[in-house]
Structure 1
Amino acid sequence: MIDYSKFPGLAGVYLEDSYVLEIVETPQQIVFRLDAVLTPESPAYHPPRPGEHYCYAAANLVFPDVAVVEWIRRTEKHFTDATGEEDLGNIDILQDEGDGFIVEGDWGRLRIVGRQPILKLTS
């Protein structure tokens, strides 16, 4: 479950159908590199391209100023789409846990203590 109302930096994105391409960890931040589904609320929204159900854009979901990263579960699953591109699945859960956030998908379950996530379009 993702409550977008608690994360104003995520307005205009639909994480449940966005694809996680890579998870990058540094001492300062966690970055989920995404093929993100944009909704009409996003200023970058455009009608879906032929053959697509959604408007997709390259984006990074950034958890800045990370103090704690705890992998509760981690998998190395990869999925291949019809075009042969690989991804790690979706973000199925993004919850505010008071002092941090729980993020979960096919790739695992992660507890992050840091500032609220923001979405940065990269294309």
Structure 2
Amino acid sequence: MTSDYAQLPGLSGVYLEDSFVLAISELPHTLSFKLEAVLTPEHPSYHDPLPGERYCYANAALVFDDVTEIEWIRRSTNRFVDASGEEDLGNIDRLVSDDGSYLVNGDWGEVRVRCGRTPRLDLTD
């Protein structure tokens, strides 16, 4: 059965579609996305947006542990520059789970991750 990331317990209170991917790290048994993550009011670390910002942002990592397979469907080296001159790889447009695997895509590419654990969001602030 396919389900959207919002239904995964480790990702409640985060809005990936407007979070910025800063880097992607692939290590043995781990895939992680370094993010400037958008936290929603449901997240315990949520605070009102800072002046001039639309959302509550937090430095975070979206982590897939206990990975048995990483299948890159497509990759992109595109970079985007925001108004303040900071560079990012775009957003995570979609993250869905399907029987032990996760399909993740965005401007940076598309990857299927097979792993034994539910992905989690680790705040790094």
Structures share fold, TM-score greater than 0.5: yes
Unaligned runs of 5+ in 2: none
Deviation at 1:97, TM superposition (A): 1.9
Aligned partners of 1:4, 1:45: CA distance in 2, in Å?
16
Q: Does 1:47 align with 2:59?
A: no
Aligned partners of 2:100, 2:41: CA distance in 1, in Å?
31
Unaligned runs of 5+ in 1: none
Of 113, 116, 119, the residue aligned with 1:117 is: 119
**Percent identity between the aligned chains?**
57
SS of the residue 1:4 aligns to:
helix
Aligned partners of 1:97, 1:88: CA distance in 2, in Å?
25
The residue number in structure 2 matching 1:77 is 78
Aligned partners of 1:47, 1:40: CA distance in 2, in Å?
9
Measured on the aligned residues, the alpha-carbon RMSD in Å equals: 1.1
Q: Does 1:98 align with 2:92?
A: no
Cα deviation 1:48-67 (Å, max 9, x = unaligned): 00100000000000000000
Q: Contact conserved, 2:5 with 2:11, CA < 8 A, in 1?
A: no
Deviation at 1:25, TM superposition (A): 0.4
Deviation at 1:2, TM superposition (A): 3.6
Aligned partners of 2:104, 2:21: CA distance in 1, in Å?
12
The residue number in structure 1 matching 2:24 is 23
Runs of 4+ off more than 3 Å: none
Deviation at 1:116, TM superposition (A): 1.3
Aligned partners of 1:58, 1:92: CA distance in 2, in Å?
18
Aligned partners of 1:98, 1:76: CA distance in 2, in Å?
29
Question: What TM-score do the two structures reach when normalised by structure 2?
Answer: 0.94
Q: Contact conserved, 1:2 with 1:92, CA < 8 A, in 2?
A: no
Aligned partners of 2:88, 2:78: CA distance in 1, in Å?
9
Question: What TM-score do the two structures reach when normalised by structure 1?
Answer: 0.96
The residue number in structure 1 matching 2:36 is 35
